[in-house]
Structure 1
Amino acid sequence: MKLLFDFLPIVVFFAAYKFAGIYWATGAAVAVAAGQIIVLRVLRRPVDKTQWFNLALLGGLGGLTIALHDERFIMWKPSLINWAFAIAFAFSLFGRASLTERMLGAQLVLPRPVWRRLTWAWVGFFMLSGALNAYVAFVYEVSPHGLGAQEQVIYQQVAVDDQAYAQGVHGKTLTDLSAQQRTELSVLAPGARQAAYLQKLHRDLWVNFKLFGLLGMTLLFALAQGVYVSRHLAPAAEPRESAA
């Protein structure tokens, strides 16, 4: 349940992006993350340090994205937070108890080597998650040759058709664009229009990966760890038979 609570800003980000675009989605995610902490404080529930860190990182990068109108800042956020978690889990292995043991030790009794292996597994998972996000966000490119038939048609249309550009890039009709957007559109070269459409497709891909890819990976990994832990739990003591 806590895992789903922690992923709520990502779900809200995804929904807001589909309806209003990257900048409104960023603002919505920051607001939800702040709202979660406010609710926990009102209910007198503990607020994890990870939630404060997530809010600080989301607020900082999200604020830069909105202020500078540059989506790259918010696209770095999943990588940075995953790598920060990886570092924290790795350093905890040099202390008296790893982070995994500190978080779950009250519910589970496991041998110390098992706790260490679980912690190293989380370190590897966080490093991989951050690397995959960075690859999707900044390395992978949407190529015109990889577009589907319908996307190919739109790709050709946006170069010469203002209405197709407004719909394909902004998700709006031409009349719904602001005066500044229409002015910018009027001086865009055909190649720049097509590049903007490819950028929109790439952004869509990253947003989908951010929700379905990272969330799906986390759920599967947590499930795999649960299976591994179950193999090392001490068997429950059998009840003694009462004397006849």
Structure 2
Amino acid sequence: MKQFIDFIPLLLFFVVYKIEPRMVDFAGHSFEFGGIFSATAMLILSSVVVYGILFIKQRKLEKSQWLTLMACLVFGSLTLAFHSVTFLKWKAPVVNWLFALVFAGSHFIGDKPLIKRIMGHALTLPDAVWARLNVAWIGFFLFCGAANLYVAFTYESFWVDFKVFGSLGMTVLFLIAQGIYLSRHLHDTDSAPTNTKSED
């Protein structure tokens, strides 16, 4: 469920982006609503609200959520300040590649890969499986970053659709593949002998 919370601001961003730009009067001021820049403002606002509610409810945010929020604030603010969508186009690639870097760094920093720190409380797997799973997440984030960058600067008219639904689709497919991979090893674990006494 947590993986899909990040998509709430993206979906709101998509809805506002698809609205035909129009001038709206509010509290004596006129502003444009609809299109990429008001969608960017919605992305920033909804991210602050969503993660703010999570912080109040949980008394904390995960590091990945802090990274996502900070990237949204930085790249979104730059987009609005300079009135250039180029900054926003770099948000998804940079965030994905930072995630890949963090997962890769966990192979060398600490006593276990990051995916084991995240899921180890719920699953018991051999260290080799955890290592392969962590590498799979590195590859996933590298691919997502590259795909977002390529589409953003090659198919600009399709970019926002891909940013929302392409990213969501890739995440769902990867989680399904991960579930299938884990189910094989969980079956092996369940069928293994219960005697775990180590040999002298």
- Tell me whether 1:224 sits opposite 2:183 in the alignment: no
Question: Which residue is 2:6 aligned to?
Answer: 6
* Cα 1:214/1:41, change in 2 over 3 Å: closer
Between the aligned partners of 2:142 and 2:52, the Cα distance in structure 1 is 30
RMSD: 1.6
* Cα 1:41/1:214, change in 2 over 3 Å: closer
Matching residue within 140, 159, 163 for 1:210: 163
Between the aligned partners of 1:125 and 1:43, the Cα distance in structure 2 is 30
Question: Which residue is 2:74 aligned to?
Answer: 60
- CA displacement at 1:50 relative to structure 2: 1.3
- CA displacement at 1:45 relative to structure 2: 4.3
Secondary structure at the counterpart of residue 75 of structure 2:
helix
Question: Which residue is 1:110 aligned to?
Answer: 125
Q: Output aligned runs, 1:32-71, within 5 Å.
A: 32-71=46-85
Which structure carries more strand by proportion?
2
Cα deviations by residue, 1:14-69 (Å, 9 ceiling, x for unpaired) = 11111111011111111111112221232234311111111111111101111111
User: What count of residue pairs does the alignment treat as equivalent?
Assistant: 176
Cα deviations by residue, 1:156-205 (Å, 9 ceiling, x for unpaired) = xxxxxxxxxxxxxxxxxxxxxxxxxxxxxxxxxxxxxxxxxxxxxx2x30
| Equivalent position amino acid for 1:227 in 2 | I
Q: Output aligned runs, 1:120-139, within 5 Å.
A: 120-138=135-153
Matching residue within 190, 195, 198 for 1:235: 190
Greater Rg, structure 1 or structure 2?
1
Deviating beyond 4 angstroms after TM superposition, the runs of 4 or more aligned structure 1 residues are: none
| Equivalent position amino acid for 2:151 in 1 | V
Taking only the aligned residue pairs, the percentage that are identical comes to: 45
Q: Output aligned runs, 1:94-109, within 5 Å.
A: 94=108, 95-109=110-124
Question: Which residue is 2:26 aligned to?
Answer: none
Cα deviations by residue, 1:89-141 (Å, 9 ceiling, x for unpaired) = 00101231111000000000000000000000010110011011111112x25
Matching residue within 24, 49, 66 for 2:38: 24
Secondary structure at the counterpart of residue 46 of structure 1:
coil
Secondary structure at the counterpart of residue 231 of structure 1:
helix
Structure 1 segments unaligned to the other structure (5+ residues)? 142-201, 239-244
| Equivalent position amino acid for 1:7 in 2 | F
Structure 2 segments unaligned to the other structure (5+ residues)? 20-33, 194-200
Between the aligned partners of 1:41 and 1:225, the Cα distance in structure 2 is 28
Matching residue within 69, 76, 100 for 2:90: 76
- CA displacement at 1:220 relative to structure 2: 0.3
Q: TM-score, normalised by structure 1?
A: 0.69
Question: Which residue is 1:88 aligned to?
Answer: 102
